Amino acid sequence: MNMKYKIQAAGLALILGFSACKKDFLDQTPYNSVAAGIALKNDADMNAAINGVYASMRNVDLYGLTLILKGDIMSDNCFITTANSGRYLFFNQYNMINNDGNANNVWAAAYATIKNANLIINSTITSNDNVSQLKAEALTVRALMHFELVRNFATPYTADANKPGVPIVLSFDQDALPARKTIKEVYTQIVADLTAAAGMAKKAINTSMVFNSTGVTRTLNTSFISKYAISALLARVYQSMGDWPNAKTAALDVVNNGGFTLTASSGLVAYWANGTPRTDKVETIFEITADANNNLAGNGVNLPGLYLPAAAPYKGSYGDVLANASLYNLYSATDVRKNLITVGTRAGQVSAAYICRKYSGNTTDYDDSKVLRYADVLLILAEAYYNTGDIVNANLTLNTVAKQRDPSFAGWASTGTQVLEDILTERRKELAFEGSRFWDLVRLQRTFTKVQDQDAPQKDMVITPTNTKLVFPIPLNEINVNTTIGQNAGY
């Protein structure tokens, strides 16, 4: 071959070699995801998507830890001991700042969950019973997240519903810079979503759905939102608004039609020790579950980790959070709920340590976080009866719970405003360590004592309804981008 041709051939080979394979060569697709636009093609895909939505709520920043823990460490129920791991101290001391990581993450995680729910709600695939049920679940999650956002990041509805609430997000828009809707507008959206969901949801606990495209069967247990979970949530939302007639209607729907029962007195400790979702309609209405392979980040950053010390028999981790003596002393000796607090010792604390045992230190299957329980619905109903003037039914409903927990208890029989105090006391005892106490104090604008160190009562704080730290700051990262959103007072 002539030299000239040799060069030309080599040159040609270079160019051909480069261009021949480059198109496919550069198209490398991920191993664990698909293009977002083609993700939901049928109801089976939608089923996977709703699982993703529930998984979003398992996040440490939502029901995995923060939302549950906050309601007790920011109330008169619990405090963080001096020898601690440094977590949630700002909540405990009521001195969060505008870039408080725990508070910011609640906002981010709640809206991330809404984004995942909206993908289902706004899906245009052909509807059938499965799609209708799954969309109802997604609508309920969207309502639940907006509810958590508005009560954590805005002042209570019961104080002034026309104050700024939080942005309402109904569809994905990466350029959106939404303004805050009023508290009232947010609650209107929550109620609208829940009402729509209640109409679309057909499946109660222990019923099944079959996805024809894959043949997969899905049996609803308490880890999913079933028909009456929606009414139960609606009752809680109306309770928060102080809309008692509607709260009563919603709670009664659960009580009359849901088929739920309270657990037997003797079975309460076992009920809390059980880590798996149920189908027997006993006690749990909706919970966020965690199993061995799908649990939270390990290393103790979870409810058992924060409530239980590492030492046997607790087998938790940090054990930063202890109950106040005042909570423990509320329970009578015959109250089975007293068994859910162990009187132990704690490093750095000289007096007795009251250790919560609702979350067992079974770290291969972290305890589920109860979001809606039947006892809570009954207590909401009692409060609704009271507020609608039906004292007889209020006491009757209240005692359904109280006497189940304390078989020796004769029952509450107060009159007048004392009935409400009895209901609140029963709520505090029944729902301790479930993130509920704080909200009772907030929606009723109560003043209370926040313990800092059981050994040093001089450090107790008195929290009044005007304390600005009762409301989380709008995250600094949101304000930096969404400049007109407006910060909450005190930050």
Partner 1 sequence: MRRLMMLFVCLLLAASQLLAQNRTIKGTVTDDKGMAIVNASVVVKGGSGGTVTDVNGAFSISVQATAKTLVISSLNFASQEVAISGKNEITVKLEAFTERLDEVVVTGYGTTKRANSTASQGKIGGKDIENLPVSSLDRGFQGKIAGVQSVSGNGQPGSNQDVRIRGIGSFTAAASPLYVVDGIQIVTGDLSSAVTTTNVLSTINPNDIEDISVLKDAAATSIYGSRGANGVVLITTKKGKSGKTQFRFDTELGQTDYASIPDAGRPLKAAEWFDFLREGLVNANFTTAQINTQLASFGYGNGVDINWIDLTTRKGTQQQYNLSMTAGDAKTQVFMSGGYFKQEAANIGADLRRISGNIKVTHNISSKLSVSTNWNIGNVFQNTPPSGAGQFGNPYYVSLTLRPTQNPFNADGSYNIGTGDNLSFPAHYNPLYVIANDKYIVRNTQVFGGGNLDYKILQGLKFTSHIGIQNNSMEENVFQNGFHGDASTTSGAGTNNYTRVFLWDWYNQLDYHTDNILQNKKLSADFKAGYEAIKYNFFRIQAAAQNYPPTVDLPLATNAATATNGSSDAANYTFASVYGNANFSYDTRYALFGSFRRDGSSRFGINNQYGNFWSVGAAWNINNEAFMSNMKAISLLKLRGSYGSTGNAGIGNYLWRQTYGYGANYNGNAGGTFNNIGNTDLTWEKTNQLDIGLDIGLFKNRVNIVVDWYNKLTDGLLFNKPISLTTGFASILSNVGKIENKGIEFTINARAVETRDFSWDIGFNIAHNKNTVIALPNHQDITNGAFRLREGKDIQSFYLRALQGVDPATGLEMWYLDDTRKTTTATYATAALQFLDKSGSPSYFGSLSNTFSYKGFYATGDLYYNYGNYVQDQYSQYFLNGQFPTRGKYSINLTRWQKPGDITTIPKYVYGLANQSAGERALYKGDYIRLRNITIGYRMMDKTLLDKLHISSLNFYVRGTNLVTYAYDKNLPLDPEQGITSQNATSFLNPKTITVGLNVGF
Q: Give the one residue of 12, 125, 297, 311 binding partner 1; rule: CB under 8 A.
A: 311
In terms of CB distance, is 289 or 399 closer to partner 1? 289
Q: Where does this chain touch partner 1 (CB under 8 A) — which range of 203-211, 306-314, 423-431, 442-450? A: 306-314
Which CB atom, from 96 or from 378, has the smaller least distance to partner 1?
96
Does 135 engage in binding with partner 1 (CB under 8 A)? no
- 2: contact with partner 1 by CB under 8 A: no
Instruction: Determine which residue in the list 66, 77, 102, 116 makes contact with partner 1, applying CB under 8 A.
Output: 116
111/448 with CB nearer partner 1: 111
CA distance 223 to 209: 15
The residue (of 24 and 410) whose beta carbon lies closer to partner 1 is 24
**Which of residues 1 and 333 has its CB atom nearest to partner 1 in the complex?**
1
Q: Using the rule CB under 8 A, is 28 a contact of partner 1? A: yes
CA proximity to 488, closest of 154, 176, 56, 227? 154
Counting contacts by CB under 8 A, is residue 350 touching partner 1?
yes
User: How far does Cα 443 stand from its chain's mean position?
Assistant: 18
Total Cβ atoms within 10 A of residue 99: 14
Q: How far apart are CA 140 and CA 205, in angstroms?
A: 16
Tell me which of 5, 8, 11, 210 binds partner 1, using CB under 8 A: 11
Q: Is 55 in the site for partner 1 (CB under 8 A)?
A: yes
- Asked whether position 223 contacts partner 1 by CB under 8 A, the answer is yes
Query: Could you say whether residue 217 binds partner 1 (CB under 8 A)?
Result: no
Amino acid at 77: N
Both tokens assigned to 13:
């080979």
Computed on alpha carbons and rounded to an integer, the radius of gyration of the chain in Å comes to: 26
- Contacts of residue 237, defined as CB under 8 A and 6 or more positions apart, other chains included, come to 143, 147, 187, 190, 191, 194
Task: Return the residues of window 65-94 that contact partner 1 according to CB under 8 A.
Answer: 82-83, 85-86, 89-90, 93
How far apart CA 103 and CA 5 sit, in angstroms, is 72
CA atoms within 13 A on the CB side of 260: 32
Closest CA to 288 of 168, 141, 87: 141
Q: From the CB of 24, what's the least distance to partner 1, in Å?
A: 10
Neighbouring residues of 216: CB distance < 8 A, sequence distance ≥ 6: 44, 47, 210
- Residue closer to partner 1 by CB (options 345, 466) is 345
Q: Shortest gap between Cβ of 439 and partner 1 (angstroms)? A: 23
Residue 124 found at the interface with partner 1 (CB under 8 A): no
Of positions 124, 256, 266, 293, contacts partner 1 by CB under 8 A: 293
Output the CA angle 333-337-339, nearest 5 degrees. 75
User: By CB under 8 A, is residue 56 in contact with partner 1?
Assistant: yes
Q: Which two tokens stand for residue 12?
A: 């040609």
Q: Which two tokens stand for residue 212?
A: 């024809």
x/- letters, 93..112, toward partner 1 (CB under 8 A): x-xxx-x-------xx--xx
CA–CA separation, 189 and 118 (whole Å): 14
3-state secondary structure of 230: helix
Applying CB under 8 A, which part among 151-159, 242-250, 356-364, 425-433 lies near partner 1?
356-364
Q: Which C-beta is closer to partner 1: that of 123 or that of 404?
A: 123
- Indicate the pairing of strand 461-463 with strand 448-450: antiparallel
Task: Assign residue 416 a region (left: φ > 0; alpha: ψ between -120 and 50; beta: otherwise).
Answer: left
Nearer to partner 1, 28 or 266 (CB): 28
Alpha helices in 201-243 (DSSP H): 227-241
Site residues for partner 1, 316-335, by CB under 8 A, read 316-318
Which residues 426-485 are close enough to bind partner 1 by CB under 8 A? 453, 455-456, 458-459, 475-478, 480-482
Pattern 151-180, partner 1, x by CB under 8 A? ----------------x-x--xxxxxxx--
- Which residue lies nearer to partner 1 by CB, 12 or 413? 12
Q: Which is nearer to partner 1, 339 or 459 (CB)?
A: 459
Copy the structure tokens of residue 452. 């800092």
The answer to the question of residue 125 lying near partner 1 (CB under 8 A) is no
**With contact defined as beta carbons under 8 Å apart, do 143 and 128 qualify?**
no
Instruction: Find the binding residues for partner 1 in span 358-387 (CB under 8 A).
Output: 361, 363-364
Q: How far is the CB of 49 from partner 1 (least distance, A)?
A: 6
Kindly tell me which of 89 and 391 has the beta carbon lying closer to partner 1: 89
Work out the number of other CB atoms within 10 angstroms of the CB of residue 176. Answer: 10
